[in-house]
With several copies, the nearest count.
Chain A
Amino acid sequence: MGIYLDHSATTYVDKKVLAKMTQCYSETFGNTSSQHSYGRDAEKGVGAARAQVADAIGASPGEIYFTSGGTESDNWAIKGVAKFARKGHIITTGIEHRAVLDTCKYLEAKGFSITYLPVDAFGAVRADDVEKALQDDTILISIMFANNEVGTINPMAQIGQIAKKHGVLFHTDAVQAVGHVPIDVSAIGIDLLSLSAHKFYGPKGVGALYIKNGTNIEKIIHGGSHEKGMRAGTLNSPGIVGLGAAISLATEVMDNEFVKEAALAKRLKDALLQLPKAKYNGHPDDRLPGNVNISFDGIEAEALMLHLDLEGIAVSTGSACSSGSTNPSYVLKEMGCTIEQARAAVRFTIGRCNTTKDIDTAAKKTKSIVEKLRALSPLFADKGEKNV
């Protein structure tokens, strides 16, 4: 068996969650729009899931709309608000997931103006910058809860207050955060929140958008009166039941998991930073518990990733050498990393199944591969410098 350290990319589905889904695929398989018992049973499952999702983020069930995943939720939140407003200004950051960035670029081409806020060296947005960027015609602030590459958590409460004070809608892409850190939409003052089941041991292809009651937003998928007429399409009831079960379970084990993952992450970080010229990326404390992101000077991340893969260890790299040009992580570049540092960055994301032994094995293998690749590299000369 391999060692999976790429839980931010996706997770396996928890056994208990899968059992609920299986039951739904074969028995309570009705269409929730049907009025007979098959339909009513399916609707019961969806209703329970809606309550589970609402509970997990401090919303009410009527504010939860199911989607096909985080990307659709992000598209809906941003395009939906923009369509309702017809024109205006949107504030986001330079380190958003492409589901947010590409949607903003699309709207920019359609005449909306967009501010892409910078981040500090740790990858966090400054709340001050948000307030300064506000314009008379600002219709939306869209800032991610936690970054997918470096795990840094943004100052959500402060941004929420600013949004509320100025009466501007606040959307957050919380795809990486939900199920891992506590979230209360009403305490923070969030109007729209995107989440996706496959990031917390639920199924792929199902997510949700929290829409605070009374929010001015249009739909983006037409046809049928599903989801109060806001999102057409036969409900993916097995997936939704899986989402509900997964979010409940994640909430239940959150505190323990946080402590466990943070401890494993510290262990991995400490071991890897024994290597010379290894740079730890992201915030030291305000970050997702399982995320460790390190740039190893003089190596190319893909090479390290593939070597680890050959040893059965799965990690990820932000950059990828493809189509004749390297695309080093724009997140790391925004944080002020050099291109070389960005190309040398590897992300380890620890999850529910990982053990101390996994971490020790991964650390040991990583160290020897880094040394091997550095020996191969014309760029690296260990001059015994300290880590930065």
Chain B
Amino acid sequence: MYNEKVLQHFKDPHNVGTMENPDGYGEVGSSECGDTMKMYIKVDDNKITDIKYQTYGCCAAIASSSIATDMALGKTIEEAQAMSKMDIVQELGGLPEKKIHCSLLAEDALKEAIKDYKSK
């Protein structure tokens, strides 16, 4: 049901962890399925230079978190803000239809973190 790339990210997710004094912090919970994510970003010169997260959720949620943070790293704030859940799903090479909503968690957490950064 999950493709190889999804399973790879699920098995060894990238960028896992927390951050002391992040420039931006976002926390979201999916009302749909109870998945939860905390995201931490470090921003330098309008670019995301470090990113960390913790995720509680299924395989799709974990893999989406991993690849979304990979994708965001190095991007400008504007570029990162433009990322949608479908970009994440595409980068993963697809998710089962029922699981597509799980990737929204990463999109939302990233947006929250950026919002927090901007508000400072």
Classify A-B as touching or not with yes or no (CB < 8 A).
yes
B99 and A321 form a contact (CB under 8 A): yes
Contact among B1, B36, B99 for A379, CB-based, below 8 A: B36
A23 to B27, CA, bound (A): 49
Q: Cβ of A298 < 8 Å from any Cβ of B?
A: yes
Contact among A302, A323, A375 for B16, CB-based, below 8 A: A375
CB neighbours of B102 from chain A (8 A): 321
A299 to B55, CA, bound (A): 10
A64 CB, min distance to chain B CBs, angstroms: 20
Most A-side CB within 10 Å, residue of B7, B34, B36, B54: B34
B56 and A325 form a contact (CB under 8 A): no
**Residue in chain A with minimal CB distance to B8:** A310
Q: Cβ of B98 < 8 Å from any Cβ of A?
A: yes
A378 and B37 form a contact (CB under 8 A): yes
Interface residues of A in 279-304 (CB under 8 A from B): 298-300, 302-303
B56 and A300 form a contact (CB under 8 A): yes
Interface residues of A in 301-348 (CB under 8 A from B): 302-303, 306-307, 310, 321-326, 339-340, 343
A326 and B33 form a contact (CB under 8 A): yes
CB neighbours of B59 from chain A (8 A): 302-303, 306
**Residue in chain B with minimal CB distance to A340:** B34
A303 and B58 form a contact (CB under 8 A): yes
Q: Cβ of A367 < 8 Å from any Cβ of B?
A: no
B100 CB, min distance to chain A CBs, angstroms: 9
Q: How many residues of B contact A (CB 8 A)?
A: 28
A378 to B109, CA, bound (A): 13
CB neighbours of B11 from chain A (8 A): 307, 310
The 0/1 profile, CB within 8 Å of B marked 1, for residues 142-159 of chain A is 000000000000000000
Q: Cβ of B106 < 8 Å from any Cβ of A?
A: no
**Residue in chain B with minimal CB distance to A380:** B56
CB neighbours of B55 from chain A (8 A): 376-378
| Range class of the A interface residue count | 20 to 34
**Residue in chain A with minimal CB distance to B27:** A378
A298 to B34, CA, bound (A): 12
With contacts defined as CB atoms under 8 Å apart, how many contacts are there between chain A and chain B in the complex?
A: 69
**Residue in chain B with minimal CB distance to A323:** B98
A343 to B62, CA, bound (A): 15
CB neighbours of A216 from chain B (8 A): none
CB neighbours of A379 from chain B (8 A): 36, 56
B59 CB, min distance to chain A CBs, angstroms: 5
B98 and A310 form a contact (CB under 8 A): no
B10 and A303 form a contact (CB under 8 A): yes
A321 and B35 form a contact (CB under 8 A): yes
Q: Cβ of B32 < 8 Å from any Cβ of A?
A: yes
**Residue in chain B with minimal CB distance to A301:** B58
B101 and A324 form a contact (CB under 8 A): yes
Q: A306-B58, A321-B98, A324-B32 are in contact. List 18 more A-B contacts (CB 8 A).
A: A298-B56, A300-B58, A303-B10, A303-B57, A306-B7, A306-B59, A321-B61, A321-B99, A326-B33, A340-B34, A343-B34, A375-B16, A376-B16, A377-B54, A378-B55, A378-B56, A379-B56, A380-B56
Residues of chain B having any CB pair with chain A under 8 Å? 1-2, 7, 10-11, 13, 16, 27, 32-38, 54-62, 98-99, 101-102
Residues of chain A having any CB pair with chain B under 8 Å? 35, 40, 298-300, 302-303, 306-307, 310, 321-326, 339-340, 343, 375-380
> Which 8 A-B residue pairs are closest in the complex by CB-CB distance?
A326-B33, A378-B54, A302-B58, A322-B98, A378-B38, A377-B56, A321-B58, A379-B56
Query: Would you mind naming 24 contact pairs between A and B with Cβ atoms under 8 Å apart?
Result: A35-B1, A40-B1, A299-B56, A300-B35, A300-B57, A303-B57, A303-B58, A303-B59, A306-B2, A307-B11, A321-B35, A321-B58, A321-B99, A324-B32, A324-B98, A325-B33, A375-B16, A376-B56, A376-B62, A377-B55, A377-B56, A378-B36, A379-B36, A379-B56
